[in-house]
Structure 1
Amino acid sequence: MRRGKSGWTLLFLLLVGLILGGFVGDLLGRFFKELSYAQVIGMNNPLTLDLNFLKFSFMLTFKINIGTVIGLILAIYSYYKM
């Protein structure tokens, strides 16, 4: 087994890359209009299950911009450089 290179490490780095990349992409998008382009993928209306005493709503949406793509690439690169 490789030391320090587990699937959990990769998952953690990918999540951090997505979150930080999205934040940086939104921040820099205010100054550079080319970086503000984002694609939203997901559901428009939530899926609702009403059981009369309990109500569940589920909605999943992804917002991908240039920063999230760069964050993912950096996360994968840092994983393989460990």
Structure 2
Amino acid sequence: MRRGKSPWILVFLIVVGLILGGFLGDLLAHFFKQLAYQQIIGMNHPLTLDLNFIRFSFMLSFKINVGSVLGLILAIYAYYKM
């Protein structure tokens, strides 16, 4: 039997930390102006593959704010304290 923590727990905690941190950062930005700073990273226009009978479009972008960074740090800290 394998000992230790599963890396899937870390992935789950990171995703939850980013979502909750981003939500709280947007929610509390009205009270704390420092939390309103955000950066959008990603593609401006979608990548399209047209095969004549089907068309695929792909676009990926991330909106990162101070709250999501704090959520990420807390998620990693919680993983290593488990």
TM-score (norm 1): 0.92
Amino-acid identity (%): 73
Q: Does 1:54 align with 2:54?
A: yes
RMSD, aligned CA: 0.8
Which sits farther off after the overlay, 24-33 or 40-49?
Answer: 24-33
Shift of 1:31: 2.4
Report the Cα distance in structure 1 between the residues aligned to 2:75 and 2:31, rounded to whole angstroms.
Answer: 24
Partner of 2:38: 38
Report the Cα distance in structure 2 between the residues aligned to 1:51 and 1:29, rounded to whole angstroms.
Answer: 45
- Unpaired stretches in structure 2, ≥5 consecutive residues: none
Aligned pairs, how many? Answer: 80
The CA deviation string for residues 15-71 of structure 1, in whole angstroms up to 9 with x for no partner, is 000110110011111222221010111100000011111111100101110001100
- Unpaired stretches in structure 1, ≥5 consecutive residues: none
Which sits farther off after the overlay, 19-28 or 30-39?
Answer: 30-39
Letter in 2 for 1:14: I
TM-score (norm 2): 0.92
Letter in 1 for 2:30: R
Q: Does 1:24 align with 2:6?
A: no
Q: Does 1:74 align with 2:77?
A: no
